[in-house]
Chains A and B, each alone.
Chain A
Amino acid sequence: MNSLFYGLWPVCRKEFTHIVRDPGTLFFALLIPLLQLFLFGFAVDTNVRQIPTVVLDESHTQQSRQLLESFAASDTFRLALTVQSNPDMYSAMRSGKARVAIKIPYDYARNLQSGATATVLVLIDGSDSSVAGQAVNASSGVALEQSLNRILGSAQLPIEVRPSVLYNPATRSANFFVPGLLAVLLQMMIILLIALSLVRERERGTLEQLTMTPVAPLGLMVGKMIPYGVLGFCELCLILIIMRIVFQVPIHGNVFLLLCMSLPFLLTVLGIGLFISTKARTQAEAFQLSMGTVLPSVFLSGYIFLIDTMPPFFRAVSRIIPATYYIQILRGIILRGAGFTDLWLNAAVLTLMGCITVLLAARQFVTQRGH
């Protein structure tokens, strides 16, 4: 046991000295993820509101104005532009000035009064899928509400669905996105720091010197993982504090459990960083490889897109992405107040992944050191 991890503490202490010796790097390593947290945390809002809308009202009646008012009142649409002709309406859509166009035909009021179905044309810009989905729903909603009002008058609705959103009642985007963002930022920072630290040693020749000493591969690797793991843990706490105070995301579950279940994820990303460092010969290569891990963990981890709707192949891919499991843990504890029994499997998978990546990195290191 002792010989398997030989040299762990001297390496660990030396690595802490490196970190403390260079406060500039430390500062930026901690600060840049926080800046990104602010940037993306405030910018990302999937609740589509105030879609710029162009209006072509050929009817010019009280009824048509009433319909437009109810569109405006929905908060989904903002009647930004009024045009007088079809070409103008299409041009506003094409140029992107408006994402939605509402055309009320000249016979709208007449049809309405005669009891025939009055049609309203709603054009939706499909080049932005989240806008399109929301706009279709909202416009149907407006039409339905208007129709019901006309039919029922003051009578009561026969059926009413009362949807109640659990865990994130206001469907605030921050609640959904910030925990996922935490996983991505933490991963990016740790992989990069530890990979660069080992590749730097390779570039400067100190790694060659270390291979000539009795330091065991696992001693070297774990000795490097501890300081960067501690750094990552501090960053995690900082992000959680900012998430709670600045983004007002309540943590429904046990914070202590959250911190404990973050350790397997830290282990895994440290292992990935080490593995990258055995593949990269220069710091530039290490940087590129580290950045290559970011996009899959953004798009295939369930951070943005629901895993259940992915094609089977990508569902399988998402299962080998560590962030997938950590985002489950984060959302589970933070939003749903889930406990250990709900989430232990995620933590177990991460622990297994962590051990495998570290061992792979150590094996890679042993086969390379002679060259």
Chain B
Amino acid sequence: MTPVITADHLTIRFGDFTAVNDVSFEINKGELFGFLGPNGSGKTTIIKALCGLITPTEGTGTILGMDIHQHAADIKRHVGYMSQKFGLYEDLTVSENLGFYSGVYGITGARATQRIQEIVALTGLAPYLNRRVSALSGGWKQRLALGCAIIHSPEVVFLDEPTAGIDPVARRSLWDLFFLLSAQGVTFFVTTHYMDEAERCGRVGYIYMSKLVALGTITELQNLPEANPPGTSRVEIETPDTSTVLATLRKQPGVREATIFGRSIHSLVDSTRIDTLRAQFPQAKIQPIVPSLEDVFVTLTYQIMDAAK
């Protein structure tokens, strides 16, 4: 399979500031690729570079085989983009927004009518066609924004934090749409803050301090050697008084990380210390677990912060 999106040693500097540092990845057709990282880590900058809006300082990339340096204009015709800001005109109606974006992509006449009907059927916006966008709820705005972003049937869709600030039901139904389109062969590149959203993605990249620090399927990431340093174990500690246990636990030698996870504590400890801990907290149930995606990212982040010191 030829990759649909590639980044090849992509480096982007704004003056002295390095926004993206030597990032490489390949994404295949129909993949739902999740891109995680804190604010300002370079996620949006990478999307803009791949869409040809920013010229990378070093390295290159391709979209559908087109070089991002040379074919920026062509790339835009094959790529959809949706951001948390929606990009909708609040004073226009739903159908006017769809009509505008189809015109912008050069879709006119009968083809536009047909395509708008398809989008309306897909997103379920039929009852709201003549309603102004300002009168829609956040969830419907997001569905409309997605509809506008895919009006030209793009093969690749970039979603920049698409579900920021909407309710869980709307969030899930939006993700159902992503899965539906992804099954039809559309490739998705999704940035997000939410771990549960990342876990729905086929593959995940984690960017921290402008560097891509992890890349792979969920299972691959959970079994990363860096996330499970030799001689350590990831354990779950079930105990009724999580906060008091956490405070004492963090002071113990050999405890590298500890954090509350719902009604239990997830901790990374030296394997030799497990029995000592069991003796110390007799009322707690301590058992080894596979790290969650969040555990993996936290461990990786700590390692980078330590290395930086």
A10 at interface, CB cutoff 8 A = yes
What's the least CB distance linking B75 to chain A, in Å?
A: 9
User: For residue B55, which residue of chain A has the nearest CB?
Assistant: A370
Q: Which of A6, A22, A209 has the most CB of B within 10 A?
A: A209
CB pair B96 A214 closer than 8 Å:
no
Q: In whole angstroms, what is the CA distance A176 to B81 when docked? A: 55
Residue from A7, A21, A205 in contact with B92 in the complex, judged by beta carbons closer than 8 Å = A21
B87 at interface, CB cutoff 8 A = yes
A341 at interface, CB cutoff 8 A = no
Q: In whole angstroms, what is the CA distance A10 to B79 when docked? A: 19
Known contacts being A3-B73, A212-B76, A370-B48, is A206 close to B89, with CB within 8 Å?
yes
A127 at interface, CB cutoff 8 A = no
CB pair A21 B91 closer than 8 Å:
yes
Chain B residues closer than 8 Å to A14, beta-carbon distance:
89, 92, 96, 100, 103
Chain B residues closer than 8 Å to A211, beta-carbon distance:
53
User: For residue B78, which residue of chain A has the nearest CB?
Assistant: A214
Q: In whole angstroms, what is the CA distance A14 to B158 when docked? A: 25
CB pair B76 A214 closer than 8 Å:
yes
B21 at interface, CB cutoff 8 A = no
CB pair A212 B86 closer than 8 Å:
no
B104 at interface, CB cutoff 8 A = yes
B263 at interface, CB cutoff 8 A = no
CB pair B100 A204 closer than 8 Å:
no
CB pair A369 B53 closer than 8 Å:
yes
CB pair B103 A212 closer than 8 Å:
no
What's the least CB distance linking A134 to chain B, in Å?
A: 53
B77 at interface, CB cutoff 8 A = yes
CB pair A204 B104 closer than 8 Å:
no
Known contacts being A17-B96, A212-B76, is A10 close to B85, with CB within 8 Å?
no
B51 at interface, CB cutoff 8 A = yes
Known contacts being A9-B103, A210-B104, is A205 close to B85, with CB within 8 Å?
yes
CB pair B105 A214 closer than 8 Å:
yes
CB pair A204 B101 closer than 8 Å:
no
What's the least CB distance linking B101 to chain A, in Å?
A: 7
What's the least CB distance linking B56 to chain A, in Å?
A: 11
Q: In whole angstroms, what is the CA distance A159 to B252 when docked? A: 116
The proximity string for A residues 1-30 relative to B, scoring 1 for CB distances below 8 Å and 0 otherwise, is: 001001101110110011001100000000
CB pair A205 B86 closer than 8 Å:
yes
CB pair B53 A209 closer than 8 Å:
no
CB pair A204 B73 closer than 8 Å:
no
CB pair B105 A209 closer than 8 Å:
no
B90 at interface, CB cutoff 8 A = yes
A213 at interface, CB cutoff 8 A = yes
CB pair A22 B83 closer than 8 Å:
no
A215 at interface, CB cutoff 8 A = yes
A208 at interface, CB cutoff 8 A = yes
Q: In whole angstroms, what is the CA distance A215 to B96 when docked? A: 17
- Interface residues in A328-371 by Cβ distance below 8 A to B read 369-371
Q: In whole angstroms, what is the CA distance A18 to B93 when docked? A: 11
CB pair A214 B53 closer than 8 Å:
no
Chain A residues closer than 8 Å to B288, beta-carbon distance:
none
Known contacts being A210-B104, A213-B101, A213-B105, is A205 close to B83, with CB within 8 Å?
yes
CB pair A214 B87 closer than 8 Å:
no
Chain B residues closer than 8 Å to A214, beta-carbon distance:
73, 76-77, 104-106
Chain A residues closer than 8 Å to B53, beta-carbon distance:
211-212, 369-370
Residue from A3, A21, A22, A215 in contact with B104 in the complex, judged by beta carbons closer than 8 Å = A215
Q: In whole angstroms, what is the CA distance A7 to B85 when docked? A: 21
User: For residue B100, which residue of chain A has the nearest CB?
Assistant: A14
Chain B residues closer than 8 Å to A7, beta-carbon distance:
103-104
What's the least CB distance linking A345 to chain B, in Å?
A: 39
Q: Lowest 5 CB-CB distances: which A-B pairs, in order?
A: A209-B87, A205-B85, A10-B103, A370-B54, A212-B81
Given A7-B103, A10-B100, A22-B91, 19 new contacts (CB under 8 A): A9-B103, A11-B104, A17-B92, A17-B96, A21-B91, A21-B92, A205-B83, A205-B87, A206-B87, A206-B88, A209-B85, A210-B87, A210-B104, A211-B53, A212-B53, A212-B76, A212-B158, A370-B54, A370-B55
19 A–B contacts, CB within 8 A, in A order: A6-B106, A10-B103, A11-B104, A14-B96, A18-B91, A21-B91, A21-B92, A22-B91, A204-B85, A205-B85, A205-B86, A205-B87, A206-B85, A208-B83, A209-B83, A210-B87, A212-B79, A214-B105, A214-B106
Mark B residues whose CB is within 8 Å of A. 14, 48, 51, 53-55, 73, 76-77, 79, 81, 83, 85-92, 96, 100-101, 103-106, 148, 158
